[in-house]
Amino acid sequence: MTATLRLVEALGAATYSSQAARVIRAALNIDARRRAIPALEQLGWWAGGGAGTPVRGSGYTPLPPRVSVADLRVFYLRTYYLALNEARRDSAWRDAYARDLRGITRLFWRGDFTRSAFVTTFSDDVAIYLRRAWQEGAALCGVSPEELSAPEQTELEMRINALLPHVISFADLVEKRTRAQGYKFSNPGLQARLGTWITRYDELRTLGQLRACADQKLQWRRHLKRVTKESCIDCLRLDARVYRAATWRKWGVRPQSRDLACGGWRCGCGFAVVTDVPSTPGHPPRLQGQK
């Protein structure tokens, strides 16, 4: 329960401080002995206007007076996603990232999220998960999150901050392809852009690995992250090549790069740390998109 209130307070302080006070007062009426998930169920029941059967037949308290159901609904949806991120420790983060981005986008497409709530929630998820992706990449070379250097942390935050402004343009696209306008969620244009955001997890993971591995040898491997139907000409040329991480970085060649012939957004390639494979002579070939 305390964790849930902290999440509500945090998101309220960031963007909705005036409404947050009402939501927090309402949440305080929940039995303090309840755990976070039942507390969210109570919030969700309130957010639905108190309609329907309470989850698990719990005896929920009525919605306190002077609390707007409309305001509470936005808070509930955002808090739900943030709470899931806090609780997710052992599950597959990349898959969870993809599910969350699809879920948040679907809510906006369906009209259940305001534009501002979508932009804030989507941006929060991107920042949370991409930090995790970078840490996963660094861990492949034995570097823990606590051991990341200041330059590594700076580069990570710079890359995330460079991506976040593009959430606005993605919101513009979704806003023009909503269910109310007759579009399906499977709309190719919408799904292509959403797929690009999902692939950023693989990209940040690779960048974190390149940074942390330094002089370790990395081998380019197709289908390392996942199997794709086809491989572009760049990925075919690079497959099985071995260079030190610093060399890959120097030449700007990496999986999920936008300079790949395929654009990188569906790239399933990755780097594998190798010790018993000799380095490839020379340097990585120039990518199709590099000038």
pLDDT at residue 44, rounded to an integer: 53
The 3-class secondary structure across 128-176, one letter per residue, is HHHHHHHHHHHHCCCCCHHHCCHHHHHHHHHHHHHHCCHHHHHHHHHHC
- Alpha-carbon span 176 to 174, nearest angstrom: 5
Please indicate, yes or no, whether residues 186 and 259 belong to a single structural domain of this protein.
no
Percent of the chain past pLDDT 90, that is, above it, reads 32
Per-residue pLDDT tens over the stretch 200-253: 999 999 999 998 888 788 999 988 776 666 788 888 999 999 998 889 989 999
Last residue of a domain, which of 54, 87, 120?
Answer: 87
H-run or E-run covering 219: strand 217-221
Per-residue confidence band for 189, with pLDDT thresholds at 50, 70 and 90: very high
Please indicate, yes or no, whether residues 207 and 252 belong to a single structural domain of this protein.
no
Tell me which residue range forms the domain holding 265. Answer: 214-291
Per-residue pLDDT tens over the stretch 42-92: 555 555 555 444 444 344 454 445 545 555 555 555 555 444 444 444 347
**Chain-centroid distance, C-alpha 146:** 21
Residue with tokens 């927090």: 24
User: Please, what sign has the CA dihedral across residues 230, 234, 238, 244?
Assistant: negative
CA distances from 259 to 76, 255, 263, 286 (A): 40, 10, 6, 9
Q: Residues near 58 by Cβ (< 8 Å), separated by ≥ 6?
A: 38, 41, 42
Please indicate, yes or no, whether residues 206 and 135 belong to a single structural domain of this protein.
yes
- Alpha-carbon span 274 to 248, nearest angstrom: 14
Last residue of a domain, which of 161, 189, 213?
Answer: 213
Number of domains in the chain: 3
Please indicate, yes or no, whether residues 176 and 263 belong to a single structural domain of this protein.
no
- Alpha-carbon span 68 to 89, nearest angstrom: 33
Last residue of a domain, which of 45, 60, 87?
Answer: 87
Please indicate, yes or no, whether residues 98 and 209 belong to a single structural domain of this protein.
yes
Selection from 117, 86, 116, 68 nearest residue 6 by Cα: 86
